[in-house]
Amino acid sequence: MYQAVVSAMNHPDPYNPYMGLFNARSFASLGAQGVDLDVVSPRPRAPPVGPYSEYGRIPAEHDYGPYDVSYPRFAYLLPQKLFKYTLSSRSIQKMLPAYLEANVATPDICHAGHIHYDGYGLLPYCRENDIPLTVMGRGKILNNYHDLATVSQRKIRATLEYADGILCVSDSLAQIAQDIVDEPKATVLPNGADPSRYPTENESQIRSEMGLDPETTVVLFCGGYTERKGIHEIREAIDDIDHDDVHMVFAGHYGDLRADLIDSLQASPVDSYQVLWEVPPLALRRWFAVADIFMLPSHAEGRPNTVYESMASETAVVASEVSGIPEQVVDGESGRLIPPRDPGALAAALDRLIEDETTRNRFAENGLARLRSKGWTWEAHGERLADIHESILDGDWDPSRRTTPATHTDPLVKPT
């Protein structure tokens, strides 16, 4: 195998255990392939007081389980919107190479959990040591690339131009990334979910423990309490959801619209609901296991992990037809796709599925079949990532090569 340095500012730590779980699962799946990992998760230097002072309690190193994580510090200037892609990025690019030179053996390859900060921060280290670099392209940076300031675009473009592989979570993001650079190097590396981790076989018992009637239709939202995740559309849609036996569950750990959502629920016909904060992963998987419908009316996405989790837990999906979501959900077969920013369409889709258990069950079964046929699991993710790295190191990397195993077929899409 080979040795890799991987960096992800967005990664769990002892005080923020739910931050960037997808990165932790990605790195763990890579390590499971026998790759020797040095994992770094840069953290801002903490001010002595205020809401960000908790960063001072994060240790320099931590045993995360599958691997150890180092948390080197850099200057992260506030207000974030003003300095995020300018002075703060310069700080991490200065700190990270010096830290790696002093503390880590020179690896065979570097891998960035995000284009920025991680890929940009690794750039001078890789250049100085002639080390290949791969970067993960997720939703926010690439979807918003053309709206960023020129200096930010230049930094992102420099990172992508140096990188040997731009590994995007969706086809739509891979196309955006490829349009930024001249040389073909963007490909799709999906995240995933493992069906065995969702206790669907214990649904009746879990419902009993939660005080939910077996006949109650559970509608679940999981994501940030933010405008981008469609919270305003949900607030409008629930005024038209008037069913006697429906329980709505909202699970999130960031965003400033939670209180607004609660106000809207209190004024709506929905009389059974929970608005949760920082739900542990085990508890969240239980909610997915008992949910009948998952809703995600986002304005923009990559391929959201929560849709994979819905498919893995046999939960019907209602989601916006944006970005990579149509690559996951086959409309009318494994879920309902609705226009973004359309609360009426959201309410109508939810209403139909609440009333139609047969269709819900068909969507759920088809979603699980699609997940399995596509190989959208963390184990497959790790295998593909290790294969890409080895191909780059061997000098035969071909970004146009399929990342979905050729033996997998899609039972929902007829061949042309």
β-bridge partners, 3 = 36
Q: Tell me how far the alpha carbon of residue 365 is from its chain's centroid.
A: 23
What's the domain count of the chain?
A: 2
Whether 28 is in a domain gets the answer: yes
Q: Looking at the structure, do residues 230 and 306 belong to the same domain, yes or no?
A: yes
Residue 205: Cβ within 10 Å count: 11
Taking the C-alpha atoms of residue 65 and residue 55, their distance in angstroms, rounded to an integer, is 21
Q: Looking at the structure, do residues 180 and 200 belong to the same domain, yes or no?
A: no
What does each C-alpha distance from 23 to 37, 116, 321, 371, 400 come to in angstroms?
13, 14, 25, 20, 24
Whether 232 is in a domain gets the answer: yes
What's the token pair of residue 255? 């965003």
What pLDDT score was predicted for residue 252? 95
What's the first-to-final CA gap in the chain, in angstroms?
39
State the average pLDDT for the chain: 92
The fraction of the chain above a pLDDT of 70, given in percent, is 94
Identity at 82, one-letter amino acid code: L
Helix (H) or strand (E) holding 83: helix 80-83
Q: Can you tell me the mean pLDDT for 367-382?
A: 97
Q: Tell me how far the alpha carbon of residue 31 is from its chain's centroid.
A: 19
The closest alpha carbon to 378, from 70, 31, 34, 36, belongs to: 31
- Reported as a pLDDT band with limits 50, 70 and 90, residue 89 is confident
What pLDDT score was predicted for residue 85? 56
* Cβ 139 vs Cβ 130: under 8 Å: no
**Residue 364 or 49, more confident:** 364
Q: Looking at the structure, do residues 69 and 122 belong to the same domain, yes or no?
A: yes
Q: Looking at the structure, do residues 389 and 354 belong to the same domain, yes or no?
A: no
- Reported as a pLDDT band with limits 50, 70 and 90, residue 136 is very high
- Reported as a pLDDT band with limits 50, 70 and 90, residue 16 is confident
> Whose structure tokens read 């993710």?
381
Q: Can you tell me the mean pLDDT for 397-404?
A: 69
Whether 407 is in a domain gets the answer: no
Whether 405 is in a domain gets the answer: no
Instruction: Kindly report which listed range (5-14, 38-47, 192-201, 367-376) carries the lowest average pLDDT score.
Output: 38-47
Beta strands in 185-334 (DSSP E): 186-188, 217-222, 246-252, 273-277, 293-296, 316-320
Residue 36: Cβ within 10 Å count: 14
What does each C-alpha distance from 145 to 65, 141, 155 come to in angstroms?
35, 6, 11
pLDDT at 412 over 60: no
β-bridge partners, 2 = none
Task: State yes or no: cis peptide before 120, omega within 30 of 0.
Answer: no
What pLDDT score was predicted for residue 115? 97
What pLDDT score was predicted for residue 406? 36
Q: Looking at the structure, do residues 188 and 199 belong to the same domain, yes or no?
A: no
Instruction: Kindly report which listed range (53-67, 177-191, 196-210) carries the lowest average pLDDT score.
Output: 53-67
What pLDDT score was predicted for residue 83? 47
Whether 76 is in a domain gets the answer: yes
Q: Can you tell me the mean pLDDT for 297-311?
A: 97
- Reported as a pLDDT band with limits 50, 70 and 90, residue 275 is very high
Q: Looking at the structure, do residues 72 and 167 belong to the same domain, yes or no?
A: yes
Taking the C-alpha atoms of residue 407 and residue 96, their distance in angstroms, rounded to an integer, is 41
What pLDDT score was predicted for residue 413? 43
Q: Write the secondary structure of 72-131 as one string of H (helix), E (strand) and C (coil).
A: CEECCCCCHHHHCCCHHHHHHHHHHHHHHHHHCCCCCEEEECCHHHHHHHHHHHHHHHCC
- Reported as a pLDDT band with limits 50, 70 and 90, residue 81 is low
- Reported as a pLDDT band with limits 50, 70 and 90, residue 307 is very high
What pLDDT score was predicted for residue 411? 40
> Whose structure tokens read 């609705």?
338
CATH number of the domain to which 250 belongs: 3.40.50.2000
Q: Looking at the structure, do residues 30 and 90 belong to the same domain, yes or no?
A: yes
What pLDDT score was predicted for residue 409? 41
Q: Could you give the residue ranges of the DSSP H alpha helices within 138-190?
A: 139-143, 150-162, 171-180
Q: Looking at the structure, do residues 274 and 155 belong to the same domain, yes or no?
A: no
What pLDDT score was predicted for residue 80? 53
Q: Looking at the structure, do residues 281 and 370 belong to the same domain, yes or no?
A: yes
- Reported as a pLDDT band with limits 50, 70 and 90, residue 407 is very low
Q: Can you tell me the mean pLDDT for 124-138?
A: 97
- Reported as a pLDDT band with limits 50, 70 and 90, residue 410 is very low
Taking the C-alpha atoms of residue 243 and residue 90, their distance in angstroms, rounded to an integer, is 54
Q: Can you tell me the mean pLDDT for 34-50?
A: 90
Whether 402 is in a domain gets the answer: no
Whether 121 is in a domain gets the answer: yes
Strand bridging mode 217-222 / 316-320: unpaired
- Reported as a pLDDT band with limits 50, 70 and 90, residue 75 is confident
Q: Which residues contact 124 (CB under 8 A, 6 or more apart)?
A: 93, 97
Q: Looking at the structure, do residues 126 and 247 belong to the same domain, yes or no?
A: no
- The domain containing residue 275 runs over which residues? 195-374
Highest mean pLDDT among 52-66, 262-276, 395-409: 262-276
Q: Looking at the structure, do residues 341 and 251 belong to the same domain, yes or no?
A: yes
What pLDDT score was predicted for residue 220? 98
- Reported as a single tens digit per residue, the pLDDT across 214-255 is 999 999 999 999 999 999 999 999 999 999 999 999 999 899
Taking the C-alpha atoms of residue 371 and residue 138, their distance in angstroms, rounded to an integer, is 19
Q: Looking at the structure, do residues 209 and 356 belong to the same domain, yes or no?
A: yes
Whether 403 is in a domain gets the answer: no
